Amino acid sequence: MLGKRILIILALFIIVILTVTPEKTPDDSSEKPADSQTISDGEEYVVAGIYRNGSASWFIDEGLSAKAELERLGVSEFIYIDGKRNPEDYLLGVKGMIDEQVDGMILCQPYEENYDAIADMLVEADIPFVTTNTSMRDPNQNLYAPSIGVDDYALGHMTGDWMANYTIKNGLTDTENVGLLLLANGALVNMELRKQGQIDRF
């Protein structure tokens, strides 16, 4: 049903914005969505959230926030899935939720090697989805789905700036036994972007 699909996409996008966007400061004049806003139309909705490392506190908190906001919007059930830091387990989680015929999915940091497979499966199953923290893009850098996250290159740029200033302030620029060590996980697109930002700024 087209109307139902639109409602779920809207709900998912709202959830991702609210769970990823930093908390507002006390003097922020922007308003949060009114408590009366819901997507409820008499039907029951089930949404799954699949997280790359579901045992990490960051993702647990994000899942709890998503669950609370989805329930406020009228979704009857939120299913939290731990991807167990494994591409195969993550893909199995997606397949399992397709089999369960959920109404929508929030994908948190899916593995790049699974982008095509995940997108194809969800489109074929007609299940709307959004991504958070890491966007899903095709080889031409087009988004597979709406995505909310942070600018990882800019974050790397900021930390590179801090490291450069620290080096200059402490007179380390001409010290031969001082170097820059960057640890990154090549399997994570966002980590590679942060690394590049650090290198470029430093």
Q: Cα 59–134–100 angle (5° rounding)? A: 65
Residue with tokens 């031409």: 140
Indicate if the alpha-carbon torsion angle 40, 77, 49, 55 is positive or negative.
positive
Encoded tokens for 94: 């997606």
pTM of the predicted model as reported, rounded to 2 decimal places? 0.69
Per-residue pLDDT tens digits for 129-183: 988 887 788 888 788 888 877 777 888 888 888 888 888 888 888 877 777 777 7
Domains along the chain? 2-19+43-149 (3.40.50.2300), 152-201 (no CATH)
CA 42 distance to own-chain centroid: 29
Mean pLDDT, all residues of the chain: 78
| Alpha helices, H only, the chain | 2-20, 57-73, 87-99, 115-125, 152-169, 189-201
